[in-house]
Amino acid sequence: MAVREAEPVGSLNEVREAGLDRDDLLGVYRNMLITRGVEERGHILYRQGKIPGSFYTGRGNEGAAVGVATAMRTEDVGTPLHRDMGVHITRGVEPWRIFAQYMGRQDGPTHGRDGNVHMADQQLGLIAMVSHLPAMLPVAVGCALAFRIREEARVAVGWFGEGASARGDAHESMTLAGTRRLPMVFVCDNNQFAYSTPTQYEYATEHVADRAQAYGFEGVVVDGTDVLAVYREAKRAIEKARAGGGPTLIECLTLRMEGHAVHDDAFYVPKQMFEKWAESDPIESFRTWLRDNAEMTDEEEDDIAASVKKLLITSMERADESPQPDPATLTHGVYATPEDLDTPHHK
Amino acid sequence: MAVREAEPVGSLNEVREAGLDRDDLLGVYRNMLITRGVEERGHILYRQGKIPGSFYTGRGNEGAAVGVATAMRTEDVGTPLHRDMGVHITRGVEPWRIFAQYMGRQDGPTHGRDGNVHMADQQLGLIAMVSHLPAMLPVAVGCALAFRIREEARVAVGWFGEGASARGDAHESMTLAGTRRLPMVFVCDNNQFAYSTPTQYEYATEHVADRAQAYGFEGVVVDGTDVLAVYREAKRAIEKARAGGGPTLIECLTLRMEGHAVHDDAFYVPKQMFEKWAESDPIESFRTWLRDNAEMTDEEEDDIAASVKKLLITSMERADESPQPDPATLTHGVYATPEDLDTPHHK
Amino acid sequence: MAELTYLQAISDGLRTEMRRDKRVFLIGEDVGVYGGAFKVSLGFQEEFGPWRVIDAPLAETAIVGGATGAAIMGLRPVAEMQFADFISCAWDHLVTIAAKQRWRAGTPVPIVVRLPSGGGFSGGPFHSQNPESSFAHIPGLKCVCPSTPEDAKGLLISAIEDPNPVLYFEHKHLYRRIKGEVPEERYTTPIGKARTHQEGSDISVITWGAMVYTAEEAAQQLDADGVSVEIIDLRTVMPWDKAAVLESARKTSKVLVLHEDTRTGGFGAEIAASIAEEAFEDLDAPVKRIAAPDCPVPFSPVLEKAFIPQVDDVVGGLRELAAY
Amino acid sequence: MAELTYLQAISDGLRTEMRRDKRVFLIGEDVGVYGGAFKVSLGFQEEFGPWRVIDAPLAETAIVGGATGAAIMGLRPVAEMQFADFISCAWDHLVTIAAKQRWRAGTPVPIVVRLPSGGGFSGGPFHSQNPESSFAHIPGLKCVCPSTPEDAKGLLISAIEDPNPVLYFEHKHLYRRIKGEVPEERYTTPIGKARTHQEGSDISVITWGAMVYTAEEAAQQLDADGVSVEIIDLRTVMPWDKAAVLESARKTSKVLVLHEDTRTGGFGAEIAASIAEEAFEDLDAPVKRIAAPDCPVPFSPVLEKAFIPQVDDVVGGLRELAAY
Ligand SMILES: Cc1ncc(C[n+]2csc(CCOP(=O)(O)OP(=O)(O)O)c2C)c(N)n1
Ligand SMILES: Cc1ncc(C[n+]2csc(CCOP(=O)(O)OP(=O)(O)O)c2C)c(N)n1
Ligand SMILES: [Mg+2]
Ligand SMILES: [Mg+2]
């Protein structure tokens, strides 16, 4: 089947044309560092026993997540998943709130009610994921439907893993979005494993993006470790959708660089795969690109690294000061009140 | 997208090569007549107030249903739907039992517990459909899985409408069958309407069969009013599956020649569509073919028509003698007993 | 006031809200050109256009999940299931997302799912079910089950206005059989408030939906016996009006809980258990439940009659209680 | 006899049946190479091969629907949900096909669905649920909820042998925490028979799953008060052993129904309503229910402690009953 395989990104000029100036690029780099930093610090907190339950990260997916989020406009909305911390960071969620979420504290976006990346700041256009995969896709398509009904120039972005692509929710979402040509972008985080399950048991084509044609829209495969290539493809798809051109399926190819969750040593992933993909670490690749193409200086690099480090340390401290949720409030808010709807989205 | 569009069937010789001799062909014709006759008589019974609830037929789909069923071997299994009376007839279900089913009598296959074509004779390798569409597809795939596990040379055939192709069940079924290359044939009864909904709101490709590629197997579109073309394609797909070649999706293109059910006058179907498709009535086309290519004589034709008519009349009479089910048995058999499993299938 | 059928009252309520509030839209299979399998939205697409009356693909998850997304974006979706039975295909989206998103993430999901439910016309196992009990157990969902045209309109408007996911069970057997006066203007019927269908002093019947009329006929027979039956139409099953039920139970001291769904684990169990726990000292007889037996809904009329609680069954139950 | 954990006992039961009966196979996400998320099937794929221990796509409908088809063809599928919570994605197939096919069409569907369920380890709203009540309401399904290693093995074997769809709820919090003697040979534990976890004379606790141990600890405290508590471990929720429950209720005259699932419409309501109806004359106090409050399962340990019934809650409830 014919899908487009996206080219890697070239020069600074090309990137400028795609809408990012040098400052933006340093910002992208910073967001990727924060993303990884948050998850690395999360690991430490977990080992310290400060994070209850399990713990998931998206190591290796920072470029894909930040790339897509950078291409979204403020008014666009998205349903990022457990490998997409970069989306939350790029949209402006403060790391201390994420640490508070990890630790089940009152100041996490879910106030200790849910854990991990099961959170979102709706004011920033994100909707909190559920565990059930890819159940957020129909929800994202519903957002796109709302934009179409109201004739707003907004786009919804829905993420899913290559494993979750096997579920009916993916199909029904793409069917509704495709038949109605909704302003929707589907982003497949293809990290080659669904827990321990390799891709050949999840889909029988070469690429997940091959399926886009079956829903009447375009599919594209992009190297998910190349943040700028992802950005370019996402930008293109998002603006196409905004202009009424219908959905696109973008498949970001990466490798999940850690176990499924913290307890999993990923023994089933061949060592050579890890070695090969370690060579195209998204952050390291982008750092090199910035030095080669955007003349990022040692000083700039150090500044960013230092500011990220500081941010993370103060964020962890602040999060640790956040109180435990009050058990007396456990059953509050099972049902919404009319005042709850009094948000910008509901006018 | 590239799917194969099947050629119409040519000469008697060609058909012989595909496995049907002249007697078989007259049998096929007879089965098509019985199929239509059962549903026409059903209409009469309905108007007489003898059929409770609603009433559905597959007028226009007789060739597709009989064609596929004729290509199945005794040991194969299938999950036919509400347009596929021809499958039950071809597999040997006696019409009187169908009339009894329609009327909710004790001798219907479900003994009045379910109605319409929600029935099957499991001894004949059929599984009774549920209303929920296309929920029988995962079940059919499970049959194919059983054959694969036991390494039996048997094939499962699962039917679905083009409307129901939008549901997640279709996707998960094709995903499991495609990734595991199970001995499975998917048959899409594409009658161009799902109740009142036209195809462009159900799928965004030209053909439903275009989707087969997205699951890693072959798709083919065939004129569903051409019983022999359907037979040839089904035979090919079934034998391919039996030989370990994996699934095929066969799309049988027809028009639903009546309303969705008896209460529906199908005002939303353009008149010209009905007129155009009336010209390729599957029974009339096959009759002409038999006369032109297999030298069916007037006498043969009359004999078949008369025997079918007689069969239908005696079947209706016999069905009408069947008692109402006994309300005292209403709650019997909600749970199976170990003896229930003592069937050929469960050894 | 106009005399409307139950079905017309539903249409009227939906039309009223769609005219008043352009955030409200309808999505479902065949709701547009066809006007819905039961013609509730007949003429709606002409009036409101194809993007407010949307013919959906045959895909219940996309319908309910899509409604959820649209609601989060500020619209007020009304999703129609062609039959309530098909809501099983969207169970996950209701219990996993719609029900929990407010509590979990502070995100209200103001959707209405319209569910043509109930038996009585040989619809068979998949066109006759009453699945409200399954949903009433899921915190975060509301379930309403009007029995009169007036409540059908008022509860639909309340459901649309409500900031939560509301399952609106419309009983198919009442669609054209039940008529009543319905105010022409917009009004709401409160969710969570029972209605005393008829006052009585000896036995309380707690019920909802089509069973209200079965109870009424049975009560007439008991009246002839000199037994006065009070009928509480719950109207909304989640939240349910426990205060009204307990008050009636305390007054009559004998209670029959009646529903069309199957018995074991049906919502009647919750009602009976609550009464038995909270009105323990006031009861003169055990709380009795009458419901469908534990099997699927049969197709054949003779079987269906044995399945759906009939007037005689209720009369029998009431007489037992009266004699206790 | 060997001392096994609850988890080892489940593995042992499954292995025993797979060795004995080649119709039995396991299908689920990550059950093969990985041995299952909880390692119940560790080493199984090596022993039984990839076509009897099948790594499924992430597709619960295909898993449960596929198991149904395979069962109808004569196999005995055991389908594993990675967490019980994800069974919501296969709800339709269980309630629409598996539950009704025998009654409707005479076709038994002997499948087992293994459901790692329950909370207590900060799994949050989607890795902690106890959905047995939802399924117990659906005629045609069976629900078993073992609490001891011995029953875990025996009930799994019974479930596989049973000609019906059986939902096998294995409580994650018991997996490695609970150990016990388990016979090495094959045996079955009857579905539908309760177990008296401890005899007593003053109050009966009716419960199942992990709550058996909570009840046990609470009973010890009551013992110190001089109150003798009987604990009935239901073991199987559908069918449930009403006779044993009524017998215990009649003996003690005071009953506490305890479960980890949420309260309203939970299966405890059915039990309480049945006792209140059928043992009305024997009760000295209202049947009390203790269950989780009506909200999702929280992630934070302090919240989860407030959610899952704790020993203190049960002690409180028992003292109230004792004082009644
Ligand atoms: C419906 C559903 N079934 C099972 C799970 C359990 N589970 C959590 S993550 C996971 C693998 C997901 O794979 P993929 O979609 O590729 O995403 P990835 O984790 O690799 O990013 C599974 C099976 C789930 N979350 N949802
Ligand atoms: C899951 C589900 N939703 C809704 C329905 C109601 N319904 C019955 S038939 C039908 C149209 C089916 O269209 P298609 O799949 O094309 O089959 P056809 O009837 O045209 O043969 C609908 C919507 C159903 N049976 N199942
Ligand atoms: Mg993956
Ligand atoms: Mg159709």
The 10s digit of each residue's pLDDT in D255-267 is 999 999 999 999 9
Across D29-107, the runs of DSSP E, i.e. the strands, are: 53-55, 76-80
Indicate if ligand 2 lies below 6 Å from the C-beta of B208: no
Name the pairing type of β-strands B4-5 and B193-194: unpaired
Distance of residue D6 Cα from the nearest chain C Cα, in angstroms: 28
CB contact under 8 A, A325 and D305: no
**Average confidence (pLDDT) over D83-94:** 98
Q: Write out the residues of chain D at the interface with chain C, using a CB-CB cutoff of 8 A.
A: 85, 88-89, 91-92, 95-96, 99-100, 103-104, 125-126, 133-134, 136-140, 238, 262, 264-270, 272-274, 276-278, 280, 283, 285-289, 294-296
Contact C53, C45 (CB under 8 A): yes
Indicate if ligand 2 lies below 6 Å from the C-beta of B169: no
Whether the ω angle into residue C146 lies within 30 degrees of 0, i.e. cis, is: no
Among all ligands shown, which has an atom nearest to the Cα of D124?
Answer: 1
CB contact under 8 A, A205 and B217: no
What pLDDT is recorded for position C160? Answer: 98
Among all ligands shown, which has an atom nearest to the Cα of C58?
Answer: 2
Distance of residue B300 Cα from the nearest chain A Cα, in angstroms: 47
Closest alpha carbon to D127 in A118, B20, B289, C99: A118
Sequence-separated (6 or more) residues with CB below 8 Å from residue A40? none
The number of C-beta contacts closer than 8 angstroms across A and B is 79
CB contact under 8 A, A143 and C72: yes
Name the active-site residue from C127, C173, C197, C259: C127
Indicate which residue's Cα is closest to atom 26 of ligand 2. B132
Among B110, B115, B201, beta carbon nearest to C55: B201
Q: What is the pTM of this model?
A: 0.98
Among A115, A166, A327, beta carbon nearest to D299: A115
Q: Of A173-187, A333-347, B95-109, C196-210, which gets the smallest average pLDDT?
A: A333-347
Report the residue of C27, C80, C300 to disrupt the B interface, i.e. the one with the largest count of B CBs within 10 Å: C300
CB contact under 8 A, D295 and A330: yes
Indicate which residue's Cα is closest to atom 19 of ligand 1. A194
CB contact under 8 A, C73 and A142: yes
What pLDDT is recorded for position B142? Answer: 98
ipTM: 0.98
Distance of residue B302 Cα from the nearest chain A Cα, in angstroms: 47
CB contact under 8 A, A213 and B205: yes
Name the active-site residue from D93, D127, D171, D259: D127
Report the residue of A133, A141, A167, A179 to disrupt the B interface, i.e. the one with the largest count of B CBs within 10 Å: A179
Among A109, A122, A138, beta carbon nearest to C93: A138
CB contact under 8 A, C58 and B118: no
Q: What is the pLDDT of residues C224-278, one digit of tens each?
A: 999 999 999 999 999 999 999 999 999 999 999 999 999 999 999 999 999 999 9
| CA-A131 nearest atom, ligand 1 | 25
| Interval between CA A202 and ligand 3 midpoint (Å) | 10
Among B115, B324, B331, beta carbon nearest to C295: B331
DSSP calls for D239-279: S--HHHHHHHHHHHS-EEEEEEEESTTSHHHHHHHHHHHHS
| Interval between CA C277 and ligand 3 midpoint (Å) | 50
Pocket test for ligand 2, best of C30, C31, C58 (most atoms within 8 A of CB): C58
What pLDDT is recorded for position B2? Answer: 58
Tokens of D315: 């002690």
Of all residues in chain C, the one with the smallest CA distance to D292 is C139
Q: What is the pLDDT of residues B248-287, one digit of tens each?
A: 999 999 999 999 999 999 999 999 999 999 999 999 999 9
Contact B64, B282 (CB under 8 A): yes
What pLDDT is recorded for position A343? Answer: 57
3-state secondary structure of C114: strand
What pLDDT is recorded for position D143? Answer: 98
What pLDDT is recorded for position A345? Answer: 47
Exposed, middle or buried, A339 (CB in 10 Å: 0-12/13-18/19+)? exposed
CA atoms within 13 A on the CB side of C123: 23
Report the residue of A167, A175, A176, A205 to disrupt the B interface, i.e. the one with the largest count of B CBs within 10 Å: A175
Please report, for residues A213, A248, B145, the alpha-carbon distance to residue A19 in angstroms, rounded to integers and kept in the order given: 28, 20, 51
Is C127 an active-site residue? yes
| CA-B193 nearest atom, ligand 2 | 20
CB contact under 8 A, D37 and A194: no
| Interval between CA D204 and ligand 4 midpoint (Å) | 57
What H or E segment, with its residue span, contains residue A5?
strand A4-5
Closest alpha carbon to C56 in B194, D107, D269, D201: B194
Sequence-separated (6 or more) residues with CB below 8 Å from residue C309? C211, C214, C258, C259, C260, C290, C291, C292
Neighbours of B342 (CB within 10 A): 10
Across chain B, the runs of DSSP E, i.e. the strands, are: 4-5, 77-79, 156-161, 184-190, 193-194, 197-198, 218-223, 248-253
d(CA B300, CA B282): 19
Of all residues in chain C, the one with the smallest CA distance to B199 is C57
Per-residue pLDDT of chain A (347 residues; tens, 9 = 90+): 457 888 877 788 889 988 999 999 999 999 999 999 999 999 999 999 999 999 999 999 999 999 999 999 999 999 999 999 999 999 999 999 999 999 999 999 999 999 999 999 999 999 999 999 999 999 999 999 999 999 999 999 999 999 999 999 999 999 999 999 999 999 999 999 999 999 999 999 999 999 999 999 999 999 999 999 999 999 999 999 999 999 999 999 999 999 999 999 999 999 999 999 999 999 999 999 999 999 999 999 999 999 999 999 999 999 999 999 999 999 999 999 999 987 554 44
Report the residue of D58, D72, D73, D143 to disrupt the B interface, i.e. the one with the largest count of B CBs within 10 Å: D73
Distance of residue B331 Cα from the nearest chain C Cα, in angstroms: 6
| Interval between CA B174 and ligand 3 midpoint (Å) | 20
Contact B185, B157 (CB under 8 A): yes
Contact D82, D29 (CB under 8 A): yes
d(CA D324, CA D318): 10
CB contact under 8 A, C300 and B105: yes
Whether the ω angle into residue D286 lies within 30 degrees of 0, i.e. cis, is: no
d(CA B185, CA B160): 11
Of all residues in chain C, the one with the smallest CA distance to A113 is C104
Phi, psi of C145 (to 5 degrees): -140, 75
Closest alpha carbon to A266 in D215, D30, D322: D30
Chain A CB contacts of D307 below 8 Å: 330
Task: Return mean pLDDT, chain B.
Answer: 96
Kindly list the protein residues whose Cβ atom lies closer than 6 A to any atom of ligand 1: A 83, 131-133, 161-164, 189, 191, 193-195, 256; D 29, 58, 60, 82, 86, 89
| CA-B83 nearest atom, ligand 2 | 21
Name the pairing type of β-strands B4-5 and D24-28: unpaired
Does position D10 have pLDDT exceeding 60, yes or no? yes
Q: Residue B1 — pLDDT band, cuts 50, 70, 90?
A: very low
Sequence-separated (6 or more) residues with CB below 8 Å from residue C109? A336, C68, C71, C72, C97, C98, C101, C102, C164, C165
Closest alpha carbon to A116 in A55, A159, A60: A55
Does position B220 have pLDDT exceeding 50, yes or no? yes
List subunits contacting chain B, requiring 3 or more Cβ pairs under 8 Å. A, C, D
